Amino acid sequence: MTRIAIVEDEAAVREQLAGYVQRYTRQYGTQFEVTMFTDGVEILEDYRPGYDIIFLDVEMQHLDGMETARRIRELDSDVLLIFITNMAQYAIKGYAVGALDYVFKPVPYFAFSQQLQKAVNQLAKRTRHYLPVPVDGGMRRLDAATIYYIESEGHRVHFYTEDGDFSAPGSLKMLEEKQAGRLFARCNSGYLVNLAQVSGVQQNTVQVGPHELQISRPKRRAFLAALADYIGGEGA
């Protein structure tokens, strides 16, 4: 379950944002555990890394959001910070402490839900997914994030990865089903590409790590759509 902290000194805004999280859950089904804090001092008291997302008000009475974020970053380099502010200059300063983004007060649900979706997508990309791959004499546990692409050849598949290349029995269709929703797409009938490893597309080729692969005409539209969805979800 994704853990959210809301740090906001206005009680009405705290309750509003907590309500937005519940609304998002009803809309998309994503479950969250929400903890609320009245100011930066409170969240920093005995702070330990454990939150996935922190919504952080910039202007608070005892300790402002920027200083709170700076101290959190000293303890936690992974948590996603989203600032809540009514002044654009604070939003710009937020990037100095590695903020994911910001929302302006008064906070509308749509803007909040967009930032929450962006954060959820970021967290999904951090999650490690492992493939059990049969190899001679046993099984190999392969980190899917290290895969450049997978090639089909007869009743075997070839894995091209950051750690080297190897082959195993199996089918591309079976692997495609296992990786459904995990940022893989076919650029042609014989290649299953890790979209996170794509560095560029030029006419009918795609650069995947050090490899240049052909994009077939039948797969082109679906592949480019999947890549666009991936880039959009990344919030670039």
Reported residue count of the chain is 236
Task: Give the largest CA-CA distance in the chain.
Answer: 67
What is the C-alpha to C-alpha distance for residues 173 and 150, in angstroms, rounded to an integer? 11
Where in the chain are the domains?
A: 2-126, 130-234
According to the model, what pLDDT value does residue 160 have? 96
The strand order across the sheet containing 156-161 reads 164-169, 156-161, 147-153, 191-194, 184-188
Distance, in Å, from the CA atom of 78 to the CA atom of 126, rounded to the nearest integer, reads 10
CATH number of 130-234: 2.40.50.1020
Query: What would be the CATH architecture of the domain defined by 2-126?
Result: 3-Layer(aba) Sandwich (3.40)
Which letter, b or e, does each residue of 74-89 get, where b requires 16 or more Cβ atoms within 10 Å of its Cβ? Answer: eeeeebbbbbbbeeee
pLDDT for residue 223: 94
Which residue is associated with the tokens 């980190």?
Answer: 143
| 3-state helix/strand/coil string of 118-141 | HHHHHHHHHCCCEEEEEECCEEEE
Dihedral of CA atoms 38, 235, 145, 94 in degrees, nearest 10, equals -40
pLDDT digits (tens, 9 = 90+) for 162-217: 989 999 998 988 888 876 556 799 999 999 999 989 989 998 999 999 999 999 99
Which residues of the chain have a pLDDT value below 50?
235-236
CA distance 110 to 14: 17
pTM, rounded to two decimals: 0.58
Residue 55: its pLDDT value, please?
97
